[in-house]
Amino acid sequence: MALRPESWLHLAQELPLGRKARRTHDCGPGTCLIVEHTELGWSAWCHRCSDKGWKPKPLPSLQERQARQAAKLAADEAIRNDPVPPMPPVFDVQQWPLAGRVWLYKAALFVEDIEKLGIYYHEASNRVVIPVLDEGKLVYWQARCIDGKGPKYLNPVVEKGSVLPRYGSGDCIVLTEDILSAYRCGMAAEGWCLMGTNLHRTLLSRIMRDGRPVVVWLDPDWDRPGRPGQAAAAEVCRTLALAGVPHANIESKRDPKMHSRAEVAAYIEEALQRARHNAAPSAQAQEGVPAPAQDRQPASL
């Protein structure tokens, strides 16, 4: 026997789309009732009654679906064109949708890490927002879609190579593709995020001035044809070699952020030892900063 709609439906309908919450039920004390609002309808489950409730939504018309999609695209574009990250923030992780929490937990981030990074949930866009700070000043942000309905990431448009998320400190620099991987590597060394797979000239100049060995740890991409992450890593290593920078590449089983903390530290330590043996400067390095692959002109035939 299903739960009576009057005992739970109004509670579920009060929730924003995509949210789930615990509420009291008329069967007794305590928050034994879980209600949820999805695109398909409203649902409930009472732990004390061991019963459920379901109320489907009317199917939207084609015009309604088109209008909803147009509004979503317009909202995403407004977020992308605003230098200020989407507001208001929800910092309490327990109030986020499960998918937002799981994405960060899978990257081995604890609640303390999430708070330290200032990561929050933006309800209107249903995105998890990662702010990037430089000496305490906001310089960039990234809003990650958690329901697969829209671009995976939204972020302000900036000049390539002008933003460098950095985390931690150590005997070497670890170059990663994404912010969370850079943060995780920053627990064992100093993680620098390339914001992709290209080593831009401005970042190469910083690396050369820094002087420390570099560990390149881009995504292994075992499931993608051509393994673009490792192809890019090879190009980054060639650029570092031309610049005379001691370096080593890591080809791991999973993305950096998906490994345990002990595994991250072990991978970096092993690669650092290899990088130290790769310290002979090249002849080209004496001539200045070489152009990374994306900046080089093709040779004349």
d(CA 111, CA 113): 5
Q: Are residues 268 and 249 in the same domain?
A: yes
**Rounded mean pLDDT of the chain?**
89
Instruction: Answer for the pair 106, 258: CB distance below 8 angstroms, yes or no.
Output: yes
CATH number, position 132: 3.90.980.10
Note the pLDDT of residue 296: 45
Residue 57, pLDDT > 70, answer yes
Asked if residue 202 belongs to a domain, the reply is yes
Report yes or no on whether pTM surpasses 0.85.
Answer: no
pLDDT at 294: 52
Could you give the maximum distance between any two Cα atoms of the chain, in Å?
Answer: 83
Do 129 and 178 have their domain in common? no
* pLDDT digits 0-9 by tens, 108-144: 999 999 999 999 999 888 999 999 999 889 999 999 9
The answer to whether residue 186 sits within a structural domain is yes
Instruction: Kindly state whether residue 21 falls inside one of the protein's structural domains.
Output: yes
Report which DSSP code applies to 295. Answer: G
Range of the domain at 40: 7-56
Q: Which residue has better confidence, 164 or 147?
A: 164
Name residue 144's beta-bridge partners.
Answer: 128, 153
Task: Give the mean pLDDT of 86-111.
Answer: 94
Q: Can you give the length of the chain in residues?
A: 301
Tens digit of pLDDT for each residue in 248-267?
999 999 999 999 999 999 99
Question: Domains in the chain: how many in total?
Answer: 3
